Amino acid sequence: MKYICLSSFLLAFSIAAFAQKADLVLTNGNIVTLKQKGDRAQAMAIAGDKIIAEGSVQEISKYIGKSTKVIDLKGKTVLPGFNDVHQHPAPLYTFDKPYATLELDTVTSMKNLIALLKRKAAITPKGMLIRGVGYNETKLGGQPIRDSLDKASADHPIIISHVSGHLSAANSMLMEMNGIDENTADPAGGAFERYPNSKRPDGICKEVAASYLHKSKQIKYPSKPTTDEEMEGYRKYFNNVLASGVTSIGDAWTTPEKVVIYRKLVAEGFPMRFNVLMGTPYAADLISGKIQRSNTDHLRIQGVKVIHGNSLSGKTCWLYEPYDMINPVTGKKDYYGIPPARSQASLDSLFLAIHKAGLQIACHSNGDREIDMVISAIEKAQKAVPRGDARHRIEHCSITNQEILDKIKADGIVPVFHCYMYELGEKMQVYGEKRMAMLHPTKTAMDMGIVYALHSDAPISPYPAMIRLGSAVNRKTKDGGIVIGANQRIDAEDAIKAYTYGGAYTTFEEGKKGRLIAGQLADLMVLDQDPTTIDSDKIYDIKVMMTVAGGRVVFGK
């Protein structure tokens, strides 16, 4: 018996002596591994950019060597870094810079909007364009029509975009510069709002109509930032994203110029992981190889973003049944949204070209009538050129029904659901109770075994991980506390999985990130509270204490 005990001791000592030593060990924590639901570890060992072990404090102690950095978590909770697979990143500049675009998402009245635009006009040369993004007409008390914007300046053209990104508001100067008047017809896929009982446009330009605001050659655009200023602006943006607990992002409409920026960031060792979806105008260059593909841990260029359909929060997406609202034009409930500009045949042709090239399709689509067109185009592409596990995506995938979800599952499509009820849920009332029960149907999809991801669509809604997590779990509006689609609520751990493993699955990377297990990339966040046990209404207030990306502490201590 003594011999056996001695042998066991020597074996254990030998394993400990020869165990790989970690560069970083996190210990005494509450680590949500996502190995399976409810699985927790107390400690984790990291070597290089990967996790080499997770388990109890005692099990992980053998990985501690003389040069190992040990962080005592003191009971804090650890989650995988969030993967926000659909954003629209932009550099951050100070207010005084002429090229700085005004952030309007926090403006809470028309009076304050006008005052902010006046401040910008005061430091902007006369005749130069003033730009803003993210206005919310609910907060303002109404749409900022040209009459309101004219109060800000009659000496500057002004354009501000809606929080949805699918409407723009212009002052009279900009409307007149572009020749938009009562004789201007609504373009296919867009519309100009008009004054009541009049054909005169009121300055609100929907969907494709907003492009008319940039046609005049008389528009004086602000000078562009230098390359160094632009790079620094992107570093500021992505450092803020990292500090919020997000370690991977998807840029869901990338230009060749932005690809250059991403390559520079990766070359300098910036720790964010980028998944690039080229905008449709650049699909041919990606297919031909003019834009080089990439498939590394820090930069993936493997897909094309297509826009087919319109806006949910902007109330322009195309539906089978009319909106639950009075059409201001007819006085009846006969408004179905704005049909997409692209025909089914054109969509089929575009999807086939992308699919045939071995690329991933990520298609923006909100209305049920739009989504059916997207699914049909994917099915036709697969029939023409069968491709296993293509994982084509539907971005937002908002107004659904059981038939749509059945097709999504059968076709292996990945829905990338929005979760912005916290900020924009009050705009969902126009869809009626029946449709809200299948709006961003996270619970139904999960029960069906459909793997899906969640996203912020920043700047449409803020990217911080705990705000997005709270919104996904609660589905409550921020101001009124109204629940949108209570039947689609999921618990915190399932929402975490959608934002981590689901995000990784969406980008074909579930084998390397999205869970905190041996062999995966060491991307994680440390929180001051556990979102899986706290009152769900308090998830928004959880603080990110530390972010680790690729085994390096990139925020906090």
List pLDDT tens digits, range 311-346: 999 999 999 999 999 998 899 999 999 999 999 999
For residue 218, which of 128, 95, 287 has the smallest C-alpha distance? 128
Rg of the Cα atoms in the chain: 25
- Cβ atoms of 502 and 453 closer than 8 Å: yes
Cis peptide before 187 (omega within 30 of 0): no
For residue 234, which of 257, 218, 207, 215 has the smallest C-alpha distance? 257
Instruction: Give the angle subtended at the CA of 335 by the CAs of 329 and 341, to the nearest 5°.
Output: 105
* pLDDT score, position 18: 60
Specify the DSSP class assigned to residue 519: T
What is the distance of C-alpha 175 from the center of its chain? 31
Query: pLDDT tens digits, residue range 540-557?
Result: 999 999 999 999 999 998
* pLDDT score, position 349: 98
Percent of the chain, pLDDT > 70?
Answer: 97
Is the torsion defined by CA of 78, 84, 85, 90 positive or negative? Answer: negative
* pLDDT score, position 1: 37
Q: What is the mean pLDDT of the chain?
A: 95
For residue 110, which of 155, 152, 172 has the smallest C-alpha distance? 152
- Cβ atoms of 476 and 426 closer than 8 Å: no
pLDDT interval class at 14 (50, 70, 90): very low
Query: What single letter denotes the amino acid at residue 431?
Result: Y
For residue 204, which of 157, 176, 162 has the smallest C-alpha distance? 162
For residue 499, which of 88, 86, 87, 83 has the smallest C-alpha distance? 83
State the burial class of residue 219 (Cβ atoms within 10 Å of its Cβ: 0-12, 13-18, 19+).
middle
Percent of the chain, pLDDT > 90?
Answer: 94
For residue 250, which of 32, 434, 502, 489 has the smallest C-alpha distance? 502
- Cβ atoms of 261 and 234 closer than 8 Å: yes
